Structure 1
Amino acid sequence: MKKIYLYAGLLCLVVTAISFNACRKVKEGFLSDYLRYSSNPLRVNAGQFYISQGLIPDASTPPFKVTLLDVRNKATGKRQQEFFNLYNVDIWTLPYDPTTDTTLALINKKRTTVKKTPFEIAPVSGQMVFNEASNNIPSGEYLLDLQVENPNGTKVYNNICTIILSPQVEYEYINAPYALAVEANSETAVRFAYDADWINAAVGRSTTAWLRIKRVADSPNQVALKFVDKNGALFAPSEYKQRPNGNSFLKTLSTFAYKTTVTDTAVLYDYATTPFPSLYWDGQSNGINCYYRINASNIASIDTASAAGWNPPNDLPYGTWAKRPVKLNVRFNTRINRPGKYIYEIMLKATKK
């Protein structure tokens, strides 16, 4: 009987405790000491638009208000002011379509220039956002300090992430440039050993063509294209022909530019924005490959890689071939990441007539 009374008493205590807790207001939210980023360190190339992943909340309760406190040079511990300065940044107010926005006037209707810092923190997610103005920040390693607030309170997170900012990649070689020999009166290629292989991808050099790229000015946004022979003699820009493709032609830089001008020393291509060619074209037929033809009337001979002893980049034995007239089909694929004027000089392993 005593056991029954004991169990009944315990049951009353449990019920009372549950009722009391049910009436008491539960503390809202939780803010962990261990908020973090999944990528730490975060590696970013200067001058590019980039959005990181957001903060990992470690069971903290949203909503969050994330505030940037400081970005400090890891070596000195001091604030890196360039992260907080305002710079001119072009932004698109309407989507850019290079197939229809074919004049500078049409392009400028869709964009405007604003003052922005090169780096921002998304106030809800904590994502790090970089824009093209980040090319004004010296490359190096930086420490990020944040403040995070939620319904439970506010905490400061110093050194929550290390940002490794690499120098801007001004331009890229997407694949090997080459110049394939084709019989003058047909579309039959005259293939040789290694005639489309890389010798040095870092400098745009293949067996049959060497595309040298140099940024020469901050403006205008323009590419000046030149073809030269192995001795440096310029092929006349008026002779840079489109390559036939059935009843049409393959892409050239003119496809991607809004203006093309032929001069005595180069063909000039004015472009609207970087990256150039626009990412719009990546999903199109042949992507951003550019194709040109130098007709046989301009070619005295071509050089061919000799399979015997071919050991790039140290041993590059070439022979000279002039058995019959050939034209050259040239292809290259590049991307410009930083606005400005560039010289594209393509040295062909050929001799000009």
Structure 2
Amino acid sequence: MMKFKYILAAGLLVSIAACTKIDDGFQSSAIRYKNNDIFAKRGLILTQSDRINADGSTPPYTFKMLNLRGVDGSPAPKEFSTEYEVLVFKTGESFNIATDTTVALLDKKRELQKKFPMYFNEQSGQLTFNKASANLPIGKYVFDVEMTNPTGTKVFPSLATINVVDPIGEDLFVVNSTGAAGAHDVTGAFLDMKAPKVTAKKISNNGARAILKIVDRNGVTFNPKAGEIIKRGDRPIFENYAKFNPVLITDTAMICDFEVAPFPLARYVTPATDWGFLMYYRIPSQFVNIDGMAPGLYSANPRFEFQLKLEGTYVIEVKLTDVTKK
């Protein structure tokens, strides 16, 4: 009789277990990004966040971005959901410095595509920003994330903050080397000058243009069109790095439409010398007074090396801080 009771009890347990739903996996309540402050630098070719850490949740899982908004609760600006035309390389195409030698050849590989500034990957939770992000208003924006896996769906409020910011200088521009000397026109003797101060300012996200100006300590421009800026022998100048379009000379600047970043694209190499990206110029003595040097006897000889990392329109200023234009 006792044995029968045990068998009956075991049967009841099996029956109860068969009627009880077994949880199919696990869904964490603590999913997160590695850094919940996500930075979008406006206009960069590609900026990506980390993936969402699912904290051991059972796969497969998917994510959805919900309720993108300002930190004050205001709706997200319309720019996030607006498509913009962006010049990109066609699928499967890329720039080849050896063969893409003209704008016509380059344009065979490029096309305008409409893109949203930001994309949300529903498999990884990763955010991707592209060149169209140049149109996003600077500010902070928060969003919720909905996660779905075999256990069900859960919403995580204010999971991360998107910080839309401008790129910093090193994202856009790098100065590799500078130097200068004062050269005596008669004797050929050189005296040290202060190295020029080289800066760049991005004035537009459109195009791919470098506007190079050489100025004195007061910001007064020298005139390359009038012979106030000339080349130094066989040393490289701005024009040596102009691959696709001729340099335009104006009263205040030398202008190059460089088409593809970075600019310069490649080092300037001759059979005898690797010049890197160096540019050498001379401002004849009749146009300058140099601190510590006899007036009218010494020309200014700036040397500099820079590289632009992104397309856009830039003004590059080379300031001679110990020179006054006559």
Normalised by the length of structure 1, the TM-score is 0.69
Whole-Å separation in 2 of the counterparts to 1:65 and 1:46: 28
Paired position in structure 2 for 1:346? 318
Give the SS at the match of 1:259: coil
8 Å Cα contact 1:210-1:346 kept in structure 2: yes
Paired position in structure 1 for 2:304? 331
Instruction: Give 1:332 deviation, angstroms.
Output: 4.0
Which runs of 5 or more structure 1 residues have no equivalent in the other structure? 1-8, 197-207, 304-318
Paired position in structure 2 for 1:190? 191
Q: Write the deviation string for residues 330-350 of structure 1: whole angstroms up to 9, x where unpaired.
A: 2042536462x3333433233
Q: Write the deviation string for residues 193-242 of structure 1: whole angstroms up to 9, x where unpaired.
A: xx33xxxxxxxxxxx44646462x56543222232344625242564426
Whole-Å separation in 2 of the counterparts to 1:347 and 1:295: 13
Instruction: Give 1:117 deviation, angstroms.
Output: 1.1
Asked if 1:90 corresponds to 2:87, the answer is: yes
Asked if 1:143 corresponds to 2:142, the answer is: yes
Aligned-CA RMSD value: 4.3
Supply the AA of the counterpart residue of 2:210. Answer: V
Decide whether aligned partners of structure 1 residues 100 and 292 sit closer, same or farther in structure 2, where only a CA change above 3 A counts: farther
Structural mapping, 1:1-353, within 5 Å: 27-48=23-44, 49-93=46-90, 94-169=93-168, 172-175=172-175, 178-181=178-181, 183=183, 190-191=191-192, 195-196=194-195, 208-209=196-197, 211=199, 213=201, 215=203, 219-230=206-217, 232=220, 234-237=222-225, 239-241=229-231, 249-250=235-236, 252=238, 254-255=240-241, 257-265=243-251, 266-273=253-260, 275-277=261-263, 289-294=277-282, 296=284, 300-303=288-291, 319-321=292-294, 325-335=298-308, 337=310, 339=312, 341-348=313-320, 349-351=322-324
Same amino acid, percent of matched pairs: 25
Give the total of aligned pairs: 306
Decide whether aligned partners of structure 1 residues 286 and 53 sit closer, same or farther in structure 2, where only a CA change above 3 A counts: farther
Decide which moves more: 131-140 or 174-183. Answer: 174-183
Q: Write the deviation string for residues 96-136 of structure 1: whole angstroms up to 9, x where unpaired.
A: 23454232212221121111111111222111101111122
Give the SS at the match of 1:76: coil
Decide whether aligned partners of structure 1 residues 343 and 297 sit closer, same or farther in structure 2, where only a CA change above 3 A counts: same
Normalised by the length of structure 2, the TM-score is 0.74
Q: Write the deviation string for residues 38-58 of structure 1: whole angstroms up to 9, x where unpaired.
A: 111122322222011101010
8 Å Cα contact 1:257-1:270 kept in structure 2: no
Decide whether aligned partners of structure 1 residues 338 and 255 sit closer, same or farther in structure 2, where only a CA change above 3 A counts: closer
Whole-Å separation in 1 of the counterparts to 2:105 and 2:288: 44
